[in-house]
Amino acid sequence: MSRSIVFIVYVNDAPQAARFYADLLELKPSFEDPGYVAFGLGDGAELALWSGETGSVTPEAPRTSEVCLTLPGGPEVIDRRFEQWTAKGVRVIREPRDEVFGRTFVVADPDGNLIRVAPVD
């Protein structure tokens, strides 16, 4: 069985979405093509942005999945990341709040895909 996994996020413009994610996550792409950009996340995991399969992604379409960035530390770390991201102008879906797994918030990328920030379990 393969030990690698790729999480694919459908976007309208992969290079444009890659600039957004690179800035937000402070990562550089590990692979770039006009329709597909990937970010190595370590331990055989990648986040890929793909514009070749969707036709047109609209921010208004309901989303049933999220990309989740987990951070070590307490609620203040989550709140600080929220402040950093809102200063960059991201669209906020859910303000920071406490859930059963800890402090969390949700933003959206330009195509409407959800990005959650939560503490490391």
Tens digit of each residue's pLDDT (9 = 90 or more) over 27-82: 999 999 999 999 999 899 999 999 976 667 777 777 778 999 999 999 999 999 99
Per the structure block, which two tokens stand in for 73?
């530390």
The DSSP output letter for 67 is E
For residues 93-119, average pLDDT: 96
> Do the Cβ atoms of 113 and 64 come closer than 8 Å?
no
Model pLDDT, residue 52: 77
pLDDT, averaged across the chain: 92
Give the pLDDT band (50/70/90) at residue 1.
Answer: low
Contact 85, 95 (CB under 8 A): no
**Distance separating the N- and C-terminal Cα atoms of the chain:** 26
Please report, as a single letter, which amino acid is at residue 35: G
Cα 54 from Cα 13, distance rounded (Å): 10
Judge whether 67 and 47 are in contact, CB under 8 Å: yes
Q: Record the pTM.
A: 0.89
- Give the pLDDT mean for 13-20: 96
CB 23 within 8 A of CB 46: no
CA distance 49 to 39: 9
Higher pLDDT, 2 or 4: 4
What pLDDT does 3 receive?
Answer: 84
Percentage of residues of the chain with pLDDT beyond 70: 96
Q: Where are the beta strands (DSSP E) in 11-81?
A: 31-33, 36-42, 45-50, 66-71
pLDDT, position 15: 96
